[in-house]
Amino acid sequence: MSVEGLLREHGQPEREVYFDHENSGWVPPEVVEAMLPYFNRKGFGHPSITNKPGWEAYEAVWRVKEHLVKELNAGGPQNLVFTHSGTEANNLAVLGSAIASGRKGGKVIVSSVEHLSVIFPAEFAAKLLGMKVIKVPVDEEGFVDPEVLSAYMDKDTVLVSVQAVNHEIGTIQRVKELVKVVKENNPEALFHTDACDAFGRIKLDVKELGVDLLTLSSHKILGPKGVGVLYVKEGVKLEPVIRGQLSTQTLWPGVENVPAIVGFGKAMELAFKDFSNQVRRVKSLRDKLLNGLLNEVPETLLNGPKGDLRAPDNVNISFLYVEGEAVTVELSLKGIYASSGSACTSRILEPSHVLLAIGRKHEEAHGSILFKITRYHTDGDIDYALQVVPEAIKRLRSISSLKPSHPKQ
Ligand SMILES: Cc1ncc(COP(=O)(O)O)c(C=O)c1O
């Protein structure tokens, strides 16, 4: 049935609250406004071409890079590469460094909770170059233990990739400590961090962290989809993994998505305006939702850590004895839009590898629902979610075959 058909049948919900910012989000009007001129009024040229619209495009891209340099303490715009997604930036980091190492039979180490856009290229590097991929286990809250990582390090290690914040369970990794351990064991090994879910939530300083490579994605900060960034520390060698015409960006040839890059720049400006207050507010809404759901709904499990090392925007709860997909549909009918398990796998009904890695059973992983809070959410939105979600779970449990002695609530 179409969405319109469903709504006709069930009626318009009294309120709509979008919580699926893990996968994609709406774009604030100021961001759209900033992008519009670059489609047909100025800067619609190719940034590598020396005509006026091309220069304007080049300058617009450069300005966003300069802004990013400040936010990341990235040294200079020459250390930043725009790609067309976070996925592409991760592929460039992992494959590009594995190939550039010139090694056959080296080792790539990733955490077992990385985004698939890190894990898959690592596996591809293994196939292509005869490398070994190690997936480092994490503890029950998703943390990589520096001592465990250290035990896997050796002189063959070409690259270590551990994300700054987990996209599903919100674990804020202790990246600085992990970098230290890696470099102590092998100063030649590169350290990449996928910071797609960290940017705009925690402060990131590439020098302070000591990373060689760092990935960002525009839509993770309410920018438009279709822009990724890779920070490449000066002196780090990468092999381009896609080939094309010579352009201003040798590591990622192909024309830059200029309007989207401009939109990303605006989204960044908004994300860092009054940063500490925004983060504090988002955190308090997160806690209200998280504690409210854990208190209101029996037989739930919080996925990921509590406290300061949980991302300010992340609420991930396993509701036992229900299927996550059924929950997302039920919630949609009431205007609450969330996702189940891992975004990237929810349509193929595979349990999230992240939840399995922290020790969740298949059925616990299948019942997980992910909510992401932004600065645009209000107390009223959270109140509405706290009214709708417990009712939805109760109804689904009452018809669920997953638990024999149901319902308890
Ligand atoms: C942690 C993380 N890395 C990488 C990506 C991929 O980014 P993109 O959607 O821009 O390809 C995502 C997207 O959800 C993500 O959550």
The pLDDT of 266-274, averaged and rounded, is 97
Ligand 1 contact via 114 beta carbon (within 6 Å): no
Q: Model confidence over 152-206: pLDDT tens digits?
A: 999 999 999 999 999 999 999 999 999 999 999 999 999 999 999 999 999 999 9
My answer on whether 90 and 195 are in the same domain is: yes
Mutate to test the pocket of ligand 1, among 20, 94, 115 (most ligand atoms within 8 A of CB): 115
- Listed in sequence order, the residues at least 6 apart from 73 whose beta carbon sits closer than 8 Å to its beta carbon are 205, 206, 207, 208
The total number of structural domains in the chain stands at 2
Ligand 1 contact via 96 beta carbon (within 6 Å): no
Ligand 1 contact via 192 beta carbon (within 6 Å): no
My answer on whether 254 and 146 are in the same domain is: yes
Residue 213 lies in a domain: yes
For atom 8 of ligand 1, the residue with the nearest CA is 86
My answer on whether 22 and 63 are in the same domain is: no
Q: Global pTM? A: 0.95
The pLDDT, as a whole number, for residue 343 is: 44
Strand order in the sheet with 107-111: 80-83, 228-232, 213-217, 190-194, 157-161, 107-111, 132-136
Rounded to whole angstroms, how far apart are CA atoms 318 and 332? 18
Q: Model confidence over 352-403: pLDDT tens digits?
A: 999 999 999 998 999 999 999 999 999 999 999 999 999 999 999 999 877 6
Residue range of the domain that includes 259: 36-271
Q: How far is the CA of 87 from the centre of ligand 1 (A)?
A: 6
Phi and psi torsions of 63, nearest 5°: -60, -40
Catalytic: which of 57, 99, 344, 389?
Answer: 344
Ligand 1 contact via 87 beta carbon (within 6 Å): yes
- State both tokens at 60: 């617009």
Residue 393 lies in a domain: yes
Rounded to whole angstroms, how far apart are CA atoms 151 and 168? 26
- Listed in sequence order, the residues at least 6 apart from 80 whose beta carbon sits closer than 8 Å to its beta carbon are 65, 68, 69, 74, 229, 230, 231, 232
Q: How far is the CA of 73 from the centre of ligand 1 (A)?
A: 22
Rounded to whole angstroms, how far apart are CA atoms 198 and 228? 14
228-243 burial code (b ≥16 CB/10 A, e <16): bbbbbbeebebebbee
In this prediction, residue 12 has a pLDDT band, given cuts at 50, 70 and 90, of confident
Residue 267 lies in a domain: yes
Residue 406 lies in a domain: no
Low-confidence winner among 71-80, 290-299, 318-327, 338-347 (lowest mean pLDDT): 338-347
My answer on whether 52 and 153 are in the same domain is: yes
My answer on whether 184 and 283 are in the same domain is: no
Q: Give the number of residues written for the chain.
A: 409
SS3 call for 109: strand
Mutate to test the pocket of ligand 1, among 20, 217, 342 (most ligand atoms within 8 A of CB): 217
My answer on whether 48 and 7 are in the same domain is: no
Rounded to whole angstroms, how far apart are CA atoms 165 and 199? 9
The pLDDT, as a whole number, for residue 347 is: 54
CATH number of the domain to which 317 belongs: 3.90.1150.10
The pLDDT of 267-280, averaged and rounded, is 97
Ligand 1 contact via 332 beta carbon (within 6 Å): no
Ligand 1 contact via 25 beta carbon (within 6 Å): no
Residue identified by tokens 């209000």 is 378
Asked if residues 292 and 300 have their Cβ atoms less than 8 Å apart, the reply is: no
In this prediction, residue 348 has a pLDDT band, given cuts at 50, 70 and 90, of low
Q: Is 344 a catalytic residue?
A: yes
My answer on whether 229 and 292 are in the same domain is: no
Rounded to whole angstroms, how far apart are CA atoms 354 and 360? 9
